[in-house]
Amino acid sequence: MPSNPPAPRILIVEDDDAAARAVAAAARDLGALPTRVDSYEAGLAAASTGDHAVIVFDRMLPGGDGIEAIARLRATGSTALVLIVSALGRAANKIEGLERGADDYLAKPFDPDELRARLRALLRRAAMAATDSDLVAFGALEIRIKARTVHVGALHVPVSPKEFELISYFARNAGEIVTRMQLLENVWNLHFDPQTNVVDVHVGRLRRKLEQAAGRAVIHTERGEGYVFDPSRSDP
């Protein structure tokens, strides 16, 4: 990270104390400054006055639905990323939320790790200017977006189209924990939880290919949480 940027601010609009505490804890873990309000109107007011990187909105709030707030936020010119955290947690609810402008949607009950991973990804997106660069390089590991190829040095790593999408998503979140649910949602566009961990097998195959080519681990497993793509880190 260049110089010391000010800590990003996160607005939490949530009427349930336990959920609000969990979100605030996750935000502080990530070095962000959480502010909490507990009603729809207060949420809208706070959102329009403060400069927030991420707004975490509940849906069934006293006074309104967080989904309805997104359009009103955008109308005021706010560019804050919106994470909906709601008990309306069926796949259909998630899809509705995403279609209506939410940047991410997390169902209650949520794992604190899952929440942290989602918040982290959003903070990263908020901090990062959109890069159009075709070449994404991590040392010797090079990903060419347009050509859809992966190289380690001069060595070409053959990947399937899905594996390429997988590695691209990992690369966008390099160094951060990425959960299985995030991968299912972003790479496979599936918003429900299959009973078997199909994702693990895919990540395992990609990991073996990269490890063979690079001679070291590129994708690391965080037990119980997810995966970290970090070509510079060496596993103990």
Partner 1 sequence: MRALRRSASLRVTLAIAAGIILISLSAMGLQYQLTARALAARQAELLETDLDAFAANYQQRRIPALRQAVAFRSQTMLPDEAIYLLQDRAGVKLAGNIGGWPLGITPEGDRFEPAPVLDYRLPLGPGGTEIAYRGIARELPGGFRFLTARAETPREVTLAGLRAVILPVAAGLVVLALLAGWLTSRWVLARIGRINRLADRVAGGDLSARLPGDRPGDEFGLLETHVHAMLDRIEALNRATQRLSDLIAHELRTPLNRILQKIRTLEAPGPQKAALEAEIHATTRTFNALLDISSAEAAGGARPGLVPVDLAALAGELCELYQPLAEDRGMTLAAHLPETAMVLGERNLIAQVLTNLLDNAIKFCAPGDAITLTLAPADDRHLMVVEDTGPGLPEEIRAEVTRLFVRAPRDRQVPGHGLGLALVQAVATRHGARLSLPATGEGFRIEISWPGLS
Phi, psi of 77 (to 5 degrees): 90, 5
Question: Is residue 208 a contact residue for partner 1 (CB under 8 A)?
Answer: no
- Alpha-carbon distances, residue 50 vs 54, 67, 93, 174, 206 (angstroms): 11, 19, 28, 29, 42
**Any contact of residue 224 with partner 1 (CB under 8 A)?**
yes
Distance, in Å, from the CA atom of 223 to the CA atom of 180, rounded to the nearest integer, reads 12
- Report d(CA 121, CA 226) in Å as an integer: 13
67 forms part of the interface with partner 1 (CB under 8 A): no
Q: Does 196 bind partner 1 (CB under 8 A)?
A: yes
Interface residues for partner 1 in 138-157 (CB under 8 A)? Answer: none
Nearer to partner 1, 19 or 141 (CB): 19
The residue count for binding partner 1 (CB under 8 A) is 35
| Candidate residues 100, 172, 202, 220; the one interacting with partner 1 per rule CB under 8 A | 202
By CB under 8 A, the residues from 2 to 21 that bind partner 1 are 16, 18-19, 21
Candidates 32-40, 132-140, 170-178, 185-193: pick the segment binding partner 1 (CB under 8 A): 185-193
97 binds partner 1 (CB under 8 A): no
Instruction: Answer yes or no whether residue 228 interacts with partner 1 by CB under 8 A.
Output: no
* Smallest separation (angstroms) from partner 1 to the CB of 56: 13
Residues forming the site for partner 1 (CB under 8 A): 16, 18-19, 21-22, 60, 87-92, 95, 107-112, 160, 162, 188, 190-196, 198, 201-202, 204-205, 224
